[in-house]
Amino acid sequence: MKSAVCCFGRATGERGRPAWLVAMAKLALFFLWAAPARAHETDLFAAQVTLRDDHAKVVVEIDILELVARTSLPRVPDARELARASDATLEAHLLRAREALQRGARLDADGSPVELELSSFPEPKEVRAVALKASAAVHEHGALLPVRFEARRPVPDARTISVALPGVPGSVLYTFAQPATSVAPPGSSASFNVLAPSAADHEAVVAAAPLPSSWLIAAACVLAAAALLGALLPRRSKLEPPLAPRA
């Protein structure tokens, strides 16, 4: 009488390798591919919102090369190309970047929208110098250059100010500055309240920042090492030998 035999073995993937080994190798390749992509993402931009004499303005430090790259799709010029571009080509790139930055920029004063005007933007010669320096040093990002927005109308007696800059290619850390005055008699001191960010605000900024590419590279190295270790271990047969039938 023939007896039925049930065989158990490890699942195998490509060319008889364990499926877990193949999966880890593919995951390591994904992390290595994703790390350079994230390296081109700008982590955080700093913007200062100032309210003085009912006039509001916003100054943001921006990576102009990153902004040009985001607004020049599908053809993305690198720093070397921008450094060598003709004046007309460079001005065309900056015009698209300026329009993208201006689009949607607004300020709300007590819930009332106030249009922001882009009053200051990097000149072509400044951008060319940044691109030349970045290409020579093989930097992934260029130097940060200031861009200034100004409210088109006064905001008298405003109690709450909110700002939106959707054209900025990345997260923005806003700082609000409002002059405070105090009259002190001779020999007396003047005191001012310091508004420091809370621990919760700091944690929110850290959580919003993109994952550093170094973490991705470290994860890829760990996965690659595990995959290599698995490949060097003695292989077992594709399937365990069947149990011998009982007499």
Q: What is the pLDDT along the chain (247 residues), one digit of tens a residue?
A: 433 333 333 344 444 455 555 555 555 555 444 444 444 444 578 999 999 989 999 999 999 998 998 888 777 788 889 999 999 999 999 999 999 999 989 999 999 999 999 999 999 999 999 999 988 876 556 689 999 999 999 999 889 999 999 888 888 899 998 887 788 888 888 877 766 555 665 566 556 555 544 445 555 555 666 666 665 555 544 444 555 555 5
Verify that 129 and 217 share a domain, yes or no. no
Q: In this structure, is residue 187 part of a structural domain? A: no
Q: What is the pTM of this model?
A: 0.60
Question: What is the DSSP annotation of the chain?
Answer: -PPP-------B-GGG-BHHHHHHHHHHHHHHHHHHHHHTS--EEEEEEEEETTEEEEEEEEEHHHHHHHHSTTS---HHHHHHS-HHHHHHHHHHHHHHHHTT-EEEETTEEEEEEEEE---HHHHHHHHHHHHHHT-SS--EEEEEEEESS--TT-S-EEEE-TTSSSEEEEEEE--------TT--------PPPHHHHHHHHHHSPPPHHHHHHHHHHHHHHHHHHHHSPPPPSSPPPPPPP-
Domain of 86 in residue numbering reads as 42-179+196-209
CB-CB contact of 62 with 228 (8 Å): no
Beta strands 171-177; 161-164: pairing state = unpaired
Verify that 19 and 30 share a domain, yes or no. yes
Q: In this structure, is residue 66 part of a structural domain? A: yes
Give the Cα separation of 126 and 132 in Å (integer): 10
Q: In this structure, is residue 1 part of a structural domain? A: yes
Q: In this structure, is residue 188 part of a structural domain? A: no
Q: In this structure, is residue 186 part of a structural domain? A: no
Give the Cα separation of 121 and 96 in Å (integer): 12
State which amino acid sits at residue 62: I
Would you state the pLDDT for residue 115? 92
Verify that 112 and 67 share a domain, yes or no. yes
Give the Cα separation of 80 and 122 in Å (integer): 18
Verify that 26 and 66 share a domain, yes or no. no
Verify that 201 and 125 share a domain, yes or no. yes
Tally of structural domains, the chain: 2
Would you state the pLDDT for residue 60? 94
Of the candidates 119, 197, 149, 160, the residue with the CA atom closest to the CA atom of residue 47:
149
Verify that 163 and 227 share a domain, yes or no. no
Name residues whose C-beta falls within 8 Å of residue 169's C-beta, 6 or more positions apart in sequence.
42, 63, 66, 67, 70
Would you state the pLDDT for residue 93? 92
Verify that 204 and 214 share a domain, yes or no. no
